[in-house]
Amino acid sequence: MKASDCEGRVAIITGAARGMGAAIARLFAAHGFYLCLNDVDEVGIGSTKSQISSGGARVIRQAGSVASESSVKAMVQAAVREFGTVHILVNNAGVLKPTRVEKITEKEFDFVMNASAKGCFLCSREVIPHMKKQGWGRIVNISSSAGRSTSTLGGCHYTAAKAAMLGLTRAIAKEAGPFGITVNAVCPGLIDTEMVRHTISSGQIKRFEKSFPIPRLGKPEEVAKLALFLASDESAYITGASIDINGGDLMM
């Protein structure tokens, strides 16, 4: 797609401090989107913003938790105040915890579920009125192959959170479709991010790579390209879908 086809559209990207979120932000900026970047890590989104701004893109940052209703409202208000509306929401925020089920505390369970599932709900609910008003919108939920099977690295709460995102994707797509809004999920497998590198050793990574039909980890930039497609006019007849990007892992 041409960058000019996306120029001036406003996208909110959550979890944009690093990894897949930062890669999505960089690619969207290169295609002319106006961006509102969110993360609980204010320093991290400041770094992402600086990288993007140096290329001339229009971008603001809004630190805060997507699990907080007041924080989400402030984020969307900031985007609308700066750019006039919201066309695209990428629900990328999430946390990975490898804790085994018998060791998961209630606090940790809520933390993992809230970052993905509750955040996806709150952010979607807040942007939909703006999308309805203009008769066009795209919501892209970054779930995981864990949501379609079980997590390679994370605990049961991570699998449950990512599966919940897929349920939200289908239900919101059904409600929002008549208003020109599509809602889809991306389901990455093992992607080469800081979060993955901090969770398992390089030896474990090599063993996983050998087990995949495409014998390597995915790249954040590859996930970003899929998110860009789902945020564009070219995906206009796709909604309620969950699209795998996992090197063939789920075939095994």
Residues carrying an active site annotation:
158
Phi, psi of 177 (to 5 degrees): -50, -45
- CA atoms in the 13 A half-sphere facing the CB of 185: 28
* Alpha-carbon distances of 126 from 94, 119, 120, 165, 209, rounded to whole Å: 18, 11, 10, 16, 39
What is the rounded CA–CA span in Å between residue 225 and residue 68? 29
β-partners of residue 139 are 89, 183
Separation of CA 204 from chain center: 25
Other beta carbons within 10 Å of 70: 10
